[in-house]
Amino acid sequence: MNHTLSRHARSLAFAAAAAVQPALAQEAAKELPTVSVQADVDKPDGYRATATRVGKVLQDPHDIPQAVTTLTGALLEEQQVGSLKEALRNVSGLSFNSAEGGRSGDNMNLRGFYTFGDIYLDGIRDTAQYNRETFNYEQIDVLRGAGAMLFGRGQAGGVINQVSKTPLRIEQYKLTGSVGDYGYREFTADLNKPINSDTALRINAMQRDEGSWRSNPASGAEPEIHRKGLALSLALNQRGDHRFWLNHYILSTNDNPDYGISFDGTTKRPGTSSRFSPDTFWGADRTFDKSDTRITTLVHEYRISADSQLRTQLRSADYERSYWARTPSLTVAPSANGSLCTAPATCNGGPTRISDYETVTLQSDFNTKFSALGMKHEVIAGIEYLKENAFRTSLRNRGGTTTANPPWYEPYDANTTAAATRFNSDSYAVYAQDTVEFVPRWKTTLGLRRDLMDAQYSSATSPKLTFSENSLRAALSFHPAEDTHYYLGWSDSFSPTADLYQLTVTPQPPERSEVAELGAKWLLFEGDLALRAALYQATKHWERNGDLESTAAILTRKRRTKGIELEAAGRVGERWEIFSGLALMDARILQQALNINATTGAVTVADGRYVGQPARNTPPWTINLWATYRLTSQWKLGGGLEAKAHRYAYSPSGAFPVVTGGTTFAPNTAPAYARWDAMASYEAKDWALRLNVKNVFDRLYWDAVYDNGGFAIPGPRRTIILTGEFKF
């Protein structure tokens, strides 16, 4: 097939995707009627994404004047990815946090900055703390840099947007089953049924169970994962100008949480004490992490004209969670009941939590294209309302505090004598952006967003906070050719996150970020391979504490990350596909924390020696690589690498970390690591088999750190998983 037809096929596929739900780009490609290009378009998605709505309008990521990383469904499937966390190993410049007080769900650092307020589901905030699964993902988009102009949050690191599967116009059914080491079992179903030309139903279901190589020597208990999910999506009136989708998502988890190994106070490394080996687990059979997530969304798209569309979403979400975890110890051995006793009459059960977070969101986005004064305009504008209600407290101790009567807890059994933390918040936003092609091949983008957050808290010292701030976005793009894009962008962010500000005793300036980025994007091999490079500087002001158990509101008054990113995604020839990234980061504290005492009102300034020190949990470099080679039309081999440099763990508003008797900066440190994975698959017309080997060389590595400095969690050891797939 010649290159002209190949390019024409991709153009038709993208145009078809624009006419349906954004997750349907693959389906639209399959439905192209032109026989001469059908074979080319019917190729799997591959790793090069051609459609995203992360910029609020359906477009090719190549055209966005900001760094974007997209993890396609094909990539996640080949790697046998189950969780969002596992999927994000493919994102350069990203590292994992671990159970920061109360934030023990998905919690990552991107470009050195928290993302706990920057996770989205189909463009709507999904900021609750829970462990997300990938069974209903079409793709994952990561928009790097300050994204508040578009999303309302988007701190300095960026936005992580999960894109859900929605109904296709073709009949398609797929069942998969997987078995593997450490009790790994997973079943998924993806069932799509067109009811008529206007209506279709898609059902996705999942059940996953998984054990661990770590265990409690006193009882044999080990960390466990038990998760079930169901997603229903009904598409209505798909051939009309008013199209509707009704989506309902359910996820239930029943895990035994793993808090890892303590850092050694002498060596500043995890698990170096001769007393406890890295496979030691302090949890018990009775410890738990349960959650129930319910999300219902109604989507309406009104096609006003060929160039104008109004998209409105209404969502109600409820996130319930309860956990009893057991933190590790450097000196006290694990017990069978999950308690740590420093004396017969002094036992503690570990952190407990019950929480309920409810949200209602109304979001409406309008986009249009037109020409005026001899220039082409692409305008997007929108409004948003978010209602948040949150409750959290500890669990009731049904036992005691002694070795004879140790502490124990039951899920969702709240401690009625403890003071619960509550907040409710109303957030309002309006935004507009115009991209103008002022001369051929040159475009400028200007955008403004206004956010108002009005929050009430249960705290007697800070019962109410109100912030009203602007967020800006500006970019200059140059397209010397269709396959080349150079851009210079600047954006800032205000974070209207009620959860973020609840530790503030006295109102202080809002957390803000600003990012400058110089980037380039290229398409090679007739668009099959996408390359990008970015040079950026991200600065955060009045950074809030990510640990809900902290007594300090401010982590730092100012810190900055300077970095370089390189990325490649797509096909190199007919048989070879690649997805890879390299990130180099220099993250530094520029001004130390400033906090106000809740009782005395005294101003406390953190140790001045923090200024100039590296930021925590920000590795100087990260590398990710995944490549596959198709031996025949049925056989495919693949493999990849995930590698990170060392990461620091400490509290920048606490005591300056030094070696005993010294003065040199010496925080707890998780060492650098490299993990290799491999894959082999055989695919027939109606069935397929795939073998995945994760951590091929069985390396011990520290996957996540509790960045306040207490402990680190080791990653999985070598795991072999066999997956069977049946299509009908």
44-727: CATH topology is Maltoporin; Chain A (2.40.170)
H-type helices in 31-180, by residue range? 35-41, 73-78, 84-87, 148-151
By three-state DSSP, how is residue 463 classified?
coil
* Helix, strand, coil shares, percent, the chain, to 5: 10, 55, 40
Q: Do β-strands 108-110 and 124-125 pair in parallel, antiparallel, or remain unpaired?
A: unpaired
| Best CA proximity match to 342, nearest among 279, 257, 266, 401 | 401
Residue 100 has pLDDT above 80, yes or no: no
* Beta carbons of 312 and 299 less than 8 angstroms apart: yes
pLDDT of residue 419: 86
Structure token digits, residue 541:
């002001």
Q: Decide which of 525 and 597 is more confident.
A: 525
Q: Decide which of 39 and 716 is more confident.
A: 716
pLDDT of residue 608: 93
pLDDT of residue 597: 76
pLDDT of residue 43: 41
User: What does 48-62 look like in DSSP terms, one character per residue?
Assistant: ----B-TTSS-B-GG
pLDDT of residue 118: 85
Average pLDDT over residues 504-515: 84
**Confidence grade of residue 127 (pLDDT, cut at 50, 70, 90):** confident
pLDDT of residue 105: 73
pLDDT of residue 550: 72
Residue 289 has pLDDT above 90, yes or no: yes
Return all residues near 417 (Cβ < 8 A) that are at least 6 apart: none
Residue 15 has pLDDT above 60, yes or no: no
Residue position matching structure tokens 């210079």: 488
pLDDT of residue 152: 64
**Confidence grade of residue 154 (pLDDT, cut at 50, 70, 90):** low
Q: How far apart are CA 675 and CA 662, in angstroms?
A: 34
Mean pLDDT, the chain, rounded, equals: 89
pLDDT of residue 148: 65
pLDDT of residue 453: 92
Residue 13 has pLDDT above 80, yes or no: no
Q: How far apart are CA 188 and CA 686, in angstroms?
A: 16
pLDDT of residue 476: 96
* Beta carbons of 280 and 256 less than 8 angstroms apart: no
Q: Decide which of 243 and 99 is more confident.
A: 243
Could you report the per-residue pLDDT of 221-265, keeping only the tens digit for each?
A: 999 999 999 999 999 999 999 999 999 999 999 999 999 999 988
Burial class (CB in 10 A: 0-12, 13-18, 19+), 466: exposed
Average pLDDT over residues 353-378: 95
pLDDT of residue 128: 87
**Confidence grade of residue 16 (pLDDT, cut at 50, 70, 90):** very low
| Best CA proximity match to 257, nearest among 230, 237, 285 | 285
**Confidence grade of residue 6 (pLDDT, cut at 50, 70, 90):** very low
pLDDT of residue 27: 39
Domain ranges of the chain: 44-727
Average pLDDT over residues 626-640: 97
What are φ and ψ of residue 305, in 5° steps?
-155, -175
pLDDT of residue 14: 41
Residue position matching structure tokens 């998984």: 210
- Give the CB-side neighbour count of residue 193, counting CA atoms within 13 A: 7
**Confidence grade of residue 458 (pLDDT, cut at 50, 70, 90):** confident
Q: How far apart are CA 350 and CA 549, in angstroms?
A: 13
| Best CA proximity match to 96, nearest among 582, 694, 563, 546 | 546
Residue 5 has pLDDT above 60, yes or no: no
pLDDT of residue 422: 92
Residue 326 has pLDDT above 50, yes or no: yes
Q: How far apart are CA 433 and CA 474, in angstroms?
A: 9
Could you report the per-residue pLDDT of 554-599, keeping only the tens digit for each?
A: 889 999 999 999 999 999 989 999 999 999 999 999 999 988 876 7
By three-state DSSP, how is residue 438 classified?
strand
**pTM reported for the whole predicted model:** 0.90
- The 158-164 sheet, strands edge to edge: 68-72, 137-144, 158-164, 119-121, 124-125
User: What does 200-226 look like in DSSP terms, one character per residue?
Assistant: EEEEEEEEEEE--S-B-TTT----BEE
